[in-house]
Amino acid sequence: MNDYTIDDVQRDYDAWQEDENINEAHSKDFLIDSDTKAEWALKKIKEAQDEHDRLLALVIEEEQLLQAKKEQIDKRLDSDTAYLRSLLMAYMEGVKCKETQTQKSYQLLTGKLIRKKGTIDFIRDEDKLLEWTKQNKPDLVKAKYSVDWSTLKKTLTVTPKGEVITDEGEMLDCITTEVKPDKFEIKF
């Protein structure tokens, strides 16, 4: 078998691939039984891996191009509609809107104007907050030693400067706030 060349291996492999019953061919007709065949098989695997890598790089490049195109299209929509959106927001201020705790809305034939009220996000230092709550409001500490945030939050007040004050007047340095602006939406 040492006289077996790479060309012979390729010819045998091509013949094996043409066989209608490939599973049978896998087990009987084509065997790797020499260094030459093993080297040939490694080269075939390397070629397949290289082709896979080339195609994968192409896919990744195409995804990046598509993402850039999507961002460009989104930007164009924003710039094309920003002026009209601002006019609709101003118009909403002058009409009687349906109002809930979280939003104002105004129904038209083609769509609905919605202005969601801004919210306050609490950025908590959980460790400091837990220690404070253990000392000052132990009934709000859950068995797993975490703060009953929904109940504690109801007892807190946020100053115009964003400071958090308890119902007893104590300022908490273990909670900071971040004011989110109103959001304006149009739904069709």
| First-to-final CA distance of the chain | 75
d(CA 49, CA 158): 60
Considering the domain boundaries, does residue 68 fall inside one?
yes
Q: What is the pLDDT of residues 40-63, one digit of tens each?
A: 888 888 888 899 999 999 999 999
- Confidence band for 37, pLDDT divided at 50, 70 and 90: confident
* 27 and 90 part of one domain: yes
pTM of the model: 0.46
Considering the domain boundaries, does residue 83 fall inside one?
yes
d(CA 1, CA 118): 80
Considering the domain boundaries, does residue 157 fall inside one?
yes
* 54 and 124 part of one domain: no
Backbone angles phi and psi of 160, in degrees to 5: -55, -25
* 15 and 63 part of one domain: yes
The residue range of the domain holding 15 is 1-94
pLDDT at 12 exceeding the cut of 70: no
Q: Which two tokens stand for residue 166?
A: 């308890």
Q: What is the pLDDT of residues 122-156, one digit of tens each?
A: 999 999 999 999 999 999 998 777 899 999 999 99
- Domain boundary (60, 94, 128) is at 94
At 188 the pLDDT is 72
pLDDT at 13 exceeding the cut of 60: yes
Which among 107, 111, 91 has a CA at the least distance from the CA of 99?
Answer: 107
Do residues 19 and 29 make contact, with C-beta atoms less than 8 angstroms apart? Answer: yes
* 71 and 145 part of one domain: no
* 1 and 89 part of one domain: yes
